[in-house]
A and B are shown apart, each in its own frame.
Chain A
């Protein structure tokens, strides 16, 4: 095992991002799609932090701060939407939420 380079971190971020992508595209449970999106955002944050460390610049840390803040808002609003859909239609299955394309 050699020294850990920037490439290791970026590679890990890419792998995590695409695990999230498979979850977003392949799953039908809205909650799990939601968690997959969080995983994707996290992978991007990891890449930001790795590049910041490689270039020794702090700007990317501020961007990660923004991403975390927006992810928190997205979690709150997204889960509120899920709760209100579930209250009305008794489902979290994305295939049953087709009101907009009917």
Chain B
């Protein structure tokens, strides 16, 4: 059961990821990206990362994709604004080649990695356990994230404001 579910989710995320980076219309890309993100959320659930599963759905598949779709709608790109599919064969081919080599190298390296069959410790991945780390050793980082969010909000408002 679990291997089957893993392969379904992995295939879904890879296929929709490929669709997301190859579509000409950004709206199709955004919808494919949403599917990929939901598939990764499912993988988080399989890894017993309950809080991350919820955050992934809420923040990524919810907020970020909705924001991207919103901006695509707002820009209202006509067919003439979309790039003609001028993929530079040299650059694209080089990127694909390097990527394939790196993927192949890693796939060899990861062949003998530990299995994930060990039972989880009680409370693994729940909000309370993550909070014990967030408010313990990583408290400074947590505070800085709050600051970054504030700066981000102000920056986005200032940047997107109409001048004059």
A interface residues with partner B (beta carbon < 8 Å): 1-12, 14-16, 18-23, 25-29, 31-32, 34-36, 38-39, 42, 45-46, 49-50, 52-54, 56, 58-59, 61-62, 64-66, 68-77, 79-84, 86-87, 90-93
State how many angstroms separate the Cβ of B133 from the closest Cβ of chain A: 4
- Residue-wise, chain B 49-70 has the 8 Å CB interface mask toward A (1 for contact) of 1011001100110011001100
A21-B99, A75-B68, A91-B81 provided; 8 other pairs, C-beta below 8 A? A26-B95, A56-B120, A61-B133, A62-B133, A64-B55, A66-B141, A77-B159, A79-B71
Question: Are A45 and B113 touching (Cβ within 8 A)?
Answer: no
Please count the residue pairs between chain A and chain B whose beta carbons lie under 8 angstroms apart in the complex: 255
Number of B residues near A (Cβ < 8 Å) is: 90
Task: Choose from B29, B55, B96, B102 the contact partner of A32 (Cβ within 8 Å).
Answer: B29
Question: Are A28 and B83 touching (Cβ within 8 A)?
Answer: yes
